Amino acid sequence: MRVAVTGGGGFLGSHLCEALLRRGDEVVCLDDFSTGDPANIAHILENPAFELVRGDVSRSAEVSGHVDAVAHLASPASPPDYLARPLETLAVGSRGTENALRLAARHDARFVLASTSEVYGDPEVHPQSETYWGHVNPVGPRSVYDEAKRFAEALTQAYRTNQGTNTGIVRIFNTYGPRMRPNDGRVVSSFVVQALAGEPLTVYGDGKQTRSFCYVDDLVRGIITMIDQDEPGPVNLGNPVELTVLQLAELVIGLTESSAELQFHSLPVDDPTRRRPVIDRASERLGWSPEVGIEDGLRRTVEWFASRPDDIADALSAIRGGQHDGVVTARRRPLASMSAAS
């Protein structure tokens, strides 16, 4: 099979390209490296089954030769990334998605959209199943990402209904692992980098907000299963083990054997309070469930970051003090006072 992967030079996309090559597929990666890193795919560039098409998929998503599937992952994903690129984020969710859908339609190929748990916004229903329609502020700062993905889902569904394209939608919940950009500002990469450097961990708000973290290998296995099937979705892909941000900080400090303190910053606007996927649909329709526990996954992630001390030093100045206009409150709390996810 020949698979086009938009955003294939990013964190998730590069792992996906690698996994597809490993099982014998040919891969065409389309990326403009706006938030990705050529280093992510440097080790597969010489593979004859791999091809890189450098460019902005919001302008064009053309490849030479036939493709059997298109996995559309191109989009800024970290909040600091999409807040810094609001128009590009909306463009890739709309025009970029349409270009990728057209590519799939022309080749009668399977199309899989990498959507997100952000379509649920700051959810009023907990945990989140695919039947929940979400609670998104359409004019808040995060809307450039949330609404772009919601539009991308609508467009994907319209191609299925009206054009007969074989589409599928996965809603990805917070995923972490090796190759996250050390300065991407996401909570896992930031905490690991800060803990390894012995710098304070930047906790936003009171740290009692929750997320559910999925290890990248589990997620990629889910996307590949979706590529291989005709399931329309949407299907949640994530690890339903829910942690507060404080619990995550505690885990990272323990695994890195760091003496780093916590430093509290203001909470970003519209930051979702709770997030946990219901994964019954993924289990029933794809036979998928996550296998890597949070401690194991974090240990692998810590090892990867620890092997890149220069990258950590470069990243620290970018993530020190937070990237979201947050103001340091100067409030510090000992680890003993951490609260658990209810």
Q: Which residues of this chain interact with ligand NAD, rule CB under 6 A?
A: 6-7, 9-13, 30-36, 56-58, 73-77, 81, 92, 96, 114, 116, 172, 174-175
Q: How far is the CB of 306 from ligand NAD (least distance, A)?
A: 20
Of 148-177, which residues contact ligand UDP (CB under 6 A)?
174
- Which of 172, 180, 187, 193 touches ligand UDP by CB under 6 A? 187
> With CB cut-offs between 5 and 8 Å by kind, which of ligand NAD, ligand UDP, none does residue 187 bind?
ligand UDP
CA 135 distance to own-chain centroid:
20
Indicate the residue among 209 and 263 with the shorter CB distance to ligand NAD.
Answer: 209
Burial 305-325 (b: 16+ CB within 10 A, else e): beeeeebbeebbebbbebbbe
- Which of 150, 179, 211, 276 touches ligand UDP by CB under 6 A? 211
Burial 219-241 (b: 16+ CB within 10 A, else e): bbbbbbbbbebebebbbbbbbbe
Site size for ligand UDP (CB under 6 A) = 14
Is 119 among the residues that bind ligand UDP (CB under 6 A)?
no
Q: For 5, phi and psi rounded to 5 degrees? A: -120, 105
Q: Give 176's strand partners.
A: 215
CA 331 to CA 337: how far, in whole Å?
13
CA 188 to CA 306: how far, in whole Å?
14
> With CB cut-offs between 5 and 8 Å by kind, which of ligand NAD, ligand UDP, none does residue 36 bind?
ligand NAD
176 closest CA partner among 190, 160, 163:
190
Of 4-63, which residues contact ligand UDP (CB under 6 A)?
none
Does residue 145 have an active-site annotation? Answer: yes
96 closest CA partner among 127, 60, 63:
60
Q: How far is the CB of 253 from ligand UDP (least distance, A)?
A: 14
Residues that bind ligand UDP (CB under 6 A): 78-79, 174, 186-187, 190, 202-204, 209, 211, 245, 268, 271
